[in-house]
Structure 1
Amino acid sequence: MYLYGASGHCKVIIDSIESSTNKIIEGVFDDNNELKSILNIPIYNFKQFDKKNIKELIISVGDNKVRKQIAESVTANYVSVIHSNAVVSKYAFIDKGTSIMASAVVNASAKIGKHCIINTGAVVEHDCVLDDFVHISPNASLAGNVKIGEGSHIGIGAQIIQGITIGKWVTIGAGTVVIRDVPDSTLFVGNPAREIKK
């Protein structure tokens, strides 16, 4: 198994993999040639690497746009990782490339798209639908039947009430309380949430 992106987020994914599987992480890819290892795992230049040796890959980059760029440019067998301390309903659907961190909760009939991040202590309640490349930050909470569009980032500690729809490529600021639908490509902050930027 290999990871792509030697960042702080990569360290959390390494911890999740080691907590939940017996798989060996053979290396991490990064464009910074000065980096040699991360948590004692060797770092390689992807362009110079023999791709046929890559059996499984996880994109370990927190930035949603960069994660999408890598996923669209690198053909691989993408796999998901779920920390052993996460609580994921057997009735939830988790698509490939998604990472679910320690103490996160994903409840029944939730549907999580490709290459999403459900970060530490986040809650995704029943019947939520997250499109691809979404990031739910630590301790953020989505009540039931919330829909999150592609590439949107829900900030740390944010709260979204039931039945809300968040558009594509939206940023919800830290601690924001969302009680109304949010359109595409906007930045919302505050309690209650208000738009401050398109």
Structure 2
Amino acid sequence: MDKKELIIYGIGRFAEYVQYVFDQDSSYTVKAFCIENSLYDAENNQLPLPLISLDEFLEKYTPSQYTVFVAVGNNEVRTRIFSIFKEYGYSLANYISSKSRFWPNLELGENIFVDEGCVLQPFIKLEDNIILFTSQIGHHSHIGKNSLMSGAKTGGNVRIGENCYIGLNASIKQNLTIADNTIIGMGCIMEKDTNKNEVYTHKGTLKRKISSIQISSRFLT
């Protein structure tokens, strides 16, 4: 069966990763990368496929022929570029890794990326423009559009608002609501609802006043 043709917006390591998994593990074949004119530099392109400017793409590559994926980790930029493609009538692809774990009743918007390390329980809804890296999402949870979760975990019946960022090893207790534009940093444990635009950070790892050699001689021999 012929694969559908896909253009990836983005030029970073994430875009390269996205191109690889779409080609290896989807019904799409990636034909090129594109980027805004202010970042366009075809002569120094280090990506494995041609690079075209966004203006050229919108002029010459029709929505009837090409599907798009926006491979940008920054929520604000990804939202803006997603809106441009929708304005011009393009469909945006989803990637759900065959190596992830999910159920048939998973509800999906557009431009969604679920990597190989994700575990999604039943009755989950993912709105448009969401990225999930190595995250575990509890049953009956709802993630709002333009959000990104990286190595995070939720209990069941959690609602995450729009434009949220949830960092590595953050945990969200069941039945909570994380409001729009919330940032939850690495290692945070969330036990209460949040309000819009709040930022949470973990105290962080402390450097001990002892060397690894001293530790080895005292405890590891």
With the length of structure 2 as denominator, give the TM-score of the two structures. Answer: 0.80
For 1:46-96, what per-residue CA distance to the aligned partner results, in whole angstroms no more than 9, with x for missing partners? 112313165211110001111111111223111111122111211211211
SS in structure 2 of the partner of residue 21 of structure 1: coil
Give the letter for the 1:30 counterpart.
I
1:115 corresponds to 2:98: no
Residues 145-156 of structure 1: matches in 2 within 5 Å?
145-156=157-168
Please, which of 6, 20, 30 is the counterpart of residue 15 of structure 1? 20
Is 1:43 the counterpart of 2:43? The answer is no
Q: Which amino acid aligns with 1:43?
A: L
| Counterpart residue identity of residue 66, structure 1 | V
Q: CA deviation at 1:190?
A: 2.6
How many matched pairs? Answer: 188
Q: CA deviation at 1:33?
A: 2.0
Q: Deviations over 1:123-146 (max 9, x none)?
A: 111111001011011x21011111
2: CA distance between counterparts of 1:118 and 1:66? 17
Distance in 2 between residues matched to 1:15 and 1:107, nearest whole Å: 26
Q: Tell me the secondary structure at the aligned position of residue 24 of structure 1.
A: strand
Structure with the higher fraction of residues in helix conformation: 2
1:10-48 CA-to-partner distances (Å, cap 9, x unmatched) read 12222321232242100111132224242x122111112
Flag structure 1 segments of 5+ consecutive residues without an equivalent.
192-198
Distance 1:52 1:131 in 2: 29
Partner of 1:52: 62
Please tell me the residue identity of whatever aligns with 1:33: Y
Quote the offset at 1:153 in angstroms.
Answer: 0.4
Q: For 1:39-188, list aligned pairs within 5 A.
A: 40-49=48-57, 50-52=60-62, 55-75=66-86, 76-119=90-133, 121-137=134-150, 139-188=151-200
% of aligned pairs identical?
A: 19
CA RMSD of aligned residues (A): 1.5
For 2:55 and 2:16, the matched residues in 1 are separated by 22
Gapped runs of 5+ residues in structure 2?
1-5, 204-221
Structure 1 CA distance, aligned partners of 2:192 and 2:13?
A: 33
Q: Highest relative contact order (Cα 8 Å, sep 6+), 1 or 2?
A: 1
Indicate the structure (1 or 2) with the bigger Cα radius of gyration.
2
Distance 1:129 1:78 in 2: 20
Q: Does 1:189 align with 2:197?
A: no
TM-score normalised according to structure 1 size:
0.89
Is the deviation greater in 18-27 or in 103-112?
18-27
